[in-house]
Amino acid sequence: MAEPLSDSQQLAWRTFIESSWALHTHLEDELRAQTGLSMNDYHVLVVLSEAPARRLRMGELAGRLWFSPSRVTYQISSMVKRGLVRKQPCPEDGRGQEAVLTDEGMAALESAAPLHLITVRDSFIDRLEPDELEVITRVFDKVRKN
């Protein structure tokens, strides 16, 4: 059985969970209201925009997004219907599928990015000192590697 959390560990855990949920909810609400995109949409668009030829195999995309294969399939299918991405066979082997960022998807990202940046700055970045941002980066890089 796991050892109970100390009071300070419990406080740190609850503060992290509650603030991260609140931040994510706020970012999601603002992004949707301003652009019609969800955070998942936005994250997919960013990752594909940074990929060579704006395309990735579905499995690789799932890994970069921290999504299960079924979740990335659902997400991409939703975005295909809106013209933000398209799905096509991988040219290397023809068996796998790739997600490809469309021109419409790139335009949606370019339109959304400045608005999202304002929310990210107002809600997170500008509330912290540079040394606090460094600590957060180090801490969550450790957590992400789990």
- pLDDT tens per residue across span 59-107: 999 999 999 999 999 999 999 999 999 999 998 877 889 999 999 999 9
Q: In this predicted model, what pLDDT tens digit does every residue of 6-28 receive, in sequence order?
A: 999 999 999 999 999 999 999 99
Burial of 124 (0-12, 13-18, 19+ CB in 10 A): middle
At 105 the pLDDT is 98
- Residue position matching structure tokens 């579905």: 58
Rounded mean pLDDT of the chain? 96
Of the chain, the percentage scoring pLDDT greater than 70 comes to 99
Instruction: Indicate the class that CATH gives domain 35-144.
Output: mainly alpha
Whether this model's pTM surpasses 0.95? no
What pLDDT was estimated at residue 13?
97
What is the per-residue pLDDT for 30? 98
What pLDDT is stored for residue 101 in this prediction? 98
146 pLDDT band, cuts 50/70/90, is low
Q: How many CA atoms lie within 13 A of 20 on its CB side?
A: 8
What pLDDT score does 64 carry?
96
